[in-house]
Amino acid sequence: MTCCRVCQQAIKAPSLTAPAPALTSMMTFVDIPTVVHVCEACGHSQCDDLPDIDSFYDTSYRISLESDDHDQIFAVDDKGRPIYRTDHQAALGLNLLNLPDGAKILDYGAAKATTLRKMVATRPDLHPHVFDVSSDYKPAWQGWVAAEDQATYTVPESWKGRFDAIISHFVIEHVAAPVEFLKTLRDLLAPGGRVLLSMPDVAANPGDMTVADHLNHFSTASLKTAFALSGLSVEAIDSTSFPGAFFAVATRSDGAVENPVRAEEIASAVARALEICGFWEKATGAIDGSARKFAGRRAAVYGSGFYGSWIHSRVSSEVQLDAFLDQNPNLQGKSHFGRPVLAPDQVADDVEVLFVGLNPLKARNIIAQVPALNRKGLELVWIDG
């Protein structure tokens, strides 16, 4: 018996179980099975805890430390140019928060705090603060965040009630107690202060359901419930401005917050979560079958992110995997699992099979825009069959 991380109701049985190893968001493997539980009471989905989770985030979890210009592509514009995640996050944050002059703003779970730095570059009047559970990112904060406005491991008691705004990008999915996490943010806000959270939208990005260190897979229903239980009033939950993610804004409340979630929202979230769990059971069988079908053939994987890494783990012992293909210029020329990362138009002419490691909801449209991948003789293998 497992309890829901949000509403604490009992969950009788897992909806997805896959054998070890499990793949993390850092494209590393941990020797645990992937187990997903779906809560029928609030529409939340969750994975089992990682072993020694505090040590994992302190010493193993590393976001963009490789170089100063490392960033993640979240979309490609209509001219094929990459749009980087932190640029878009910064613009969305300034738009959604509508910050007053001189606002005190905290990046909670900041990593290198690239998004906040870009917000401050646009709005030099802002007073930035940063916090993270690792000290590895401190060099990235120097020169633009005052030393007294930096904290690691423990938030200073003096910060309670200080902030006009808090941003926390792609953090809450990692925490074992999300309601307690949100209560911490609420206590750091000044009266009327607002929090902006981003997190994966598993309904729009089904791969998130199997990410080992994403302990929480929020639906709009379970997110509203978590906010209400934390003393935060929802202003907006935006699932369209950042494909595959929620951007949510909530305000500190000094009284009880009524949960605005409707029963039909919960039922819809549960149905979608169970559908995604079923998808991954089917996809695993299909990719394993394709690995056997194309055994010994020269192949490549499109995408060096989560989906591509997952495919690699299923097929690399069977096919002759030459390379990963990726549109991100910061990844091209590097290696991933010992294979080179190339631009898509650099795929070798004698590669016979391309495994498409992209969000299946977008994969076909993306591949259709790359002429080099639509040549005769190149067989495309899709995660969803």
8 A C-beta contact, residue 174 and residue 57:
yes
Residue-level pLDDT at 54: 60
Q: How is the chain split among helix, strand and coil, in percent rounded to 5? A: 30, 25, 40
CA distance linking residue 79 with residue 111, whole number of Å? 31
Q: What residues does CATH 3.40.50.720 cover in the chain?
A: 294-382
Nearest to 128 by CA among 111, 109, 141: 141
Q: What mean pLDDT value characterizes the chain?
A: 92
* CATH number assigned to the domain covering 294-382: 3.40.50.720
CA distance linking residue 212 with residue 18, whole number of Å? 11
Residue-level pLDDT at 290: 96
Residue-level pLDDT at 69: 45
Residues 11-27 have pLDDT tens digits of 999 999 988 888 898 88
Q: Which two tokens stand for residue 157?
A: 């008691």
Type of residue numbered 162 = R
Residues 73-100 have pLDDT tens digits of 766 677 777 778 899 999 999 999 999 9
Q: What residues does CATH 3.40.50.150 cover in the chain?
A: 73-267
State which H helix or E strand residue 314 sits in.
Answer: helix 306-315
Burial bucket for residue 147 (CB in 10 Å: 0-12, 13-18, 19+): exposed
Burial bucket for residue 349 (CB in 10 Å: 0-12, 13-18, 19+): exposed
Q: How confident is the model at residue 67 (pLDDT cuts 50, 70, 90)?
A: very low
CA distance linking residue 106 with residue 128, whole number of Å? 6
Q: What percent of the chain has pLDDT over 70?
A: 94
Class of domain 73-267: alpha beta
CA distance linking residue 49 with residue 215, whole number of Å? 7
Q: Which two tokens stand for residue 184?
A: 């911490």
Residues 216-238 have pLDDT tens digits of 999 999 999 999 999 999 999 99
To which residue do tokens 């499990």 refer?
A: 22
Residues 257-296 have pLDDT tens digits of 999 999 999 999 999 999 999 999 999 889 999 999 999 9
8 A C-beta contact, residue 283 and residue 273:
no
Q: Collapse the DSSP code of 366 into the 3-class scheme (helix H, G, I; strand E, B; otherwise coil) and give the result.
A: helix
**C-alpha radius of gyration, the chain, whole number:** 21
CA distance linking residue 83 with residue 141, whole number of Å? 24
